Amino acid sequence: MSKSCKWILAFILFFSFVYELPPISAKGEMVTINTNSLNVRSGPGLTYAVTGSLKSGARAEVISVSGEWLEIQMDSGTGWIASWLVKSDETSQSVNKTAVSKVDALNIRTEPSLSAAVISKMNAGDKAIITGRKGEWIAITRNGTDGWVHTDYITEMSETVTETAVNERENDNASSDKFTVAVDVLNVRKEPGLSSKVMTQIRRNETYAVEKVDGNWVRIAFEKDKSGWVYTFHGTMGTGSTSSSQSSIEPAKKVTVLTNGTNIRSSATTSSEIVTRVNAGERLDVVNEDGDWFKVALPSGDQAFIAKWVVSTGTVAQVDTPTQPQTSSRSKGTLKGLTIVVDAGHGGNDRGTTGLQGTDEKVLTLMTAESLAAKLKAAGANVVMTRESDTYISLRKRASIGQQSNVDAFISLHYDANPDSSITGFTTYYTHGNQKAIASSINEGLASAVSLRNRGAQPANFLVLRENKANAILIELGFLSNPTEERMLTTEMFREQATHGIYQGLLDYFNAN
């Protein structure tokens, strides 16, 4: 046998041995999609671009595994799917089960970890479909959102139990003959399904007669001889008189003022006469709405208008004004006694910028805000988050939170974009002269922690800074429009480094002041 033939044979034997080793991944395994529609992504993570989708019941072959993500073979090529949304031996026990929240404000997170971003919340009694599990965490689907909740705060119910409950509810007209809308706008559909045609829309606090219950859907009568289906998670069931579609806000609804010296005006415009002023923490009865304004009842018995962006209705963050000034002294090297607002940019229908790989800015800002908040709390600070889930908060409302008398700093977190994809780096912005020092200190802290290009502390005319009297800054933590930088910005390591830099900059500023 020639020398070359021996080398070829040795080569073949070597690779035969290597590929006979037991694979670490689930290569070759067939999985079945266990949710209505499952996104297929270009890489193993929620920040990768969506390249397609698979419907419930579809089967796919696994060709590799990366953490909790499966690479699958499809007719159009390969892609990545979340392992917790497919049926397998490990998750089959969760099929046909429902999770019921034991508590109010239960966080639904993007990953099975307390450090993962909160994308939604469940209140006591709310239900979600269980799609998988990992240790002490349960994967769920609710209102079209996939996420994770901790098992300590939910009760698992079998499908037969929930069906029995639904049937009992259908037969109990005394307790479920009315449906009251709990969201601003709710679609009424022709059939009980999210893909069904929208017939009309109904609004918050309107109440309608229930004709039938089918799982998570109820059929309501919304006009004479007309009925349609709505999702039960967006309202409450109970008895009560039916409201017409012209119902206004219930008189008992209240709003809480967020800022001292807030103007109450004679009409729904900033150019109208100021009737009186109210301070943070005062609660006012709402009479009705007029665009971006609430008409409220004053203690004097008169009625006037207050802007929506300077009040809280209970669905967004608000700062509790202490009855007495804070007296606790701050020890050098800590943030004890300081109140810091952490503002996660964008949210809800405002996605912010989108990276070339499909990264949504609103997701990254929330994850970064949670990481920063954890560090600040550990240093003793009182932290106020302008949003803790994927919700839309107006710019004026964000700024009004920053104007509270006991707020020591306001940090707005963003990620940048530019038509020129070659531009890179982070920037720290300020508007007023009193904001420059803290902007410079935090910018230096960031520069010491991350390897991105430092674009410096610069003046800019952002509303959350312009309308903010506090030590307010806005940070653009790199460019999602640059593909190389986007890959770095979406890593947990970058968020850890960046938030440590911001924390260090805050610490340096308050140590010097």
In this prediction, residue 51 has a pLDDT band, given cuts at 50, 70 and 90, of confident
**pLDDT, position 191:** 84
Give the integer Cα–Cα distance in Å for 25 and 27: 5
Asked whether residue 167 is assigned to any structural domain, the reply reads no
Which of 279-283, 291-295, 465-469 comes out lowest in average pLDDT?
279-283
What's the domain range around 224?
Answer: 172-238
Give SS3 for 168: helix
Final residue before a domain boundary, out of 270, 293, 312: 312
Q: Identify the CA nearest to 346 among candidates 203, 443, 476, 500.
A: 476
Domain of 485, CATH number, reads 3.40.630.40
Q: Is the same domain home to 264 and 123?
A: no
pLDDT of residue 2: 55
Q: Which of 55-69, 170-184, 211-225, 318-332 has the lowest mean pLDDT?
A: 318-332
Residue 101 reports pLDDT greater than 50: yes
Instruction: Give 269's pLDDT tier (boundaries 50, 70, 90).
Output: confident
At which of 67, 87, 107 does a domain end? 87
Higher pLDDT, 18 or 400: 400
Alpha carbon distance 112, 30 (integer Å): 24
Instruction: Give the position of tokens 């690479």.
Output: 71
Same domain, 444 and 374: yes
Question: Which tokens hold the place of 165?
Answer: 């409950």
Say if residue 418 is in the same domain as residue 361.
yes
Q: What gap in Å lies between CA 343 and CA 316, rounded to an integer?
A: 12
CA-CA distance, 193 to 196, in Å (whole number)? 5
Residue 330 domain flag: no
Question: 453 in the Ramachandran plot: left (φ > 0), alpha (ψ -120 to 50) or beta?
Answer: beta
pLDDT for residue 29 = 74
Residue 167 has pLDDT above 50, yes or no: no
Q: Are residues 224 and 78 located together in one domain of the fold?
A: no
In the chain the first and final C-alpha atoms are separated, in Å, by: 83
Q: Indicate whether 128 and 40 sit together in one domain.
A: no
Average confidence (pLDDT) over 153-178: 51
Of residues 121 and 412, more confidently modeled: 412
Residue 349's pLDDT is what?
Answer: 84
Asked if residue 326 is part of any domain, the answer here is no
Q: In which band, very low, low, confident or very high, does the pLDDT at 28 lie, cut at 50, 70 and 90?
A: low
Express each pLDDT in 210-268 by its tens digit.
Answer: 888 775 578 888 887 888 988 665 667 665 444 443 333 444 477 877 666 677 888 88
Laid out side by side, the sheet with 454-459 consists of 382-385, 339-344, 409-416, 472-479, 426-430, 454-459
Question: By CB neighbour count within 10 A (0-12 exposed, 13-18 middle, 19+ buried), where does 443 fall?
Answer: buried
**503 and 365, same structural domain?**
yes
Residue, of 477 and 209, whose pLDDT is higher: 477
User: Quick one: 343 and 492 in the same domain?
Assistant: yes
* Cβ-based neighbours of 477, under 8 Å, separated by 6 or more: 368, 413, 414, 415, 416, 426, 446, 489, 498
Q: Is 334 exposed, middle or buried (0-12, 13-18, 19+ CB in 10 A)?
A: middle
The model's confidence at residue 139, banded by pLDDT at 50, 70 and 90, is confident
Q: Is the pLDDT of residue 462 over 70?
A: yes
Q: Does 7 fall in a domain?
A: no
Burial (0-12, 13-18, 19+ Cβ within 10 Å), 17 = exposed
Q: How many domains does the chain have?
A: 5
273 and 220 within one domain: no
pLDDT > 90? residue 447: yes
Assess whether 465 and 396 both reside in one domain. Answer: yes
Same domain? For 411 and 286 the reply is: no
* 351 is a domain residue: yes
Question: Among 113, 136, 161, which residue terminates a domain?
Answer: 161
**Domain for residue 473, yes or no?**
yes
pLDDT above 90 coverage of the chain, percent: 20
Do 371 and 407 belong together in one domain? Answer: yes
Cα–Cα distances in angstroms (integers) from residue 206 to residues 198, 222, 250, in the given order: 18, 10, 9
Q: How many separate helices (H) and strands (E) can be counted in the chain?
A: 9, 34
pLDDT at 238: 61
Q: Which residue has the higher pLDDT, 400 or 317?
A: 400
Q: Is the domain of 287 the same as that of 400?
A: no
Q: What is the pLDDT of residues 392-422, one digit of tens each?
A: 888 888 888 877 657 899 999 999 999 899 9
Residue 385 lies in a domain: yes
Tell me what the mean pLDDT of segment 376-384 comes to.
86
On the 0-12 / 13-18 / 19+ scale of CB atoms within 10 A, 22 is exposed
Arithmetic mean of pLDDT, 307-334: 55
Residue 429 has pLDDT above 90, yes or no: yes
- Domain at 208, CATH number: 2.30.30.40
**Within a domain: residue 327?**
no
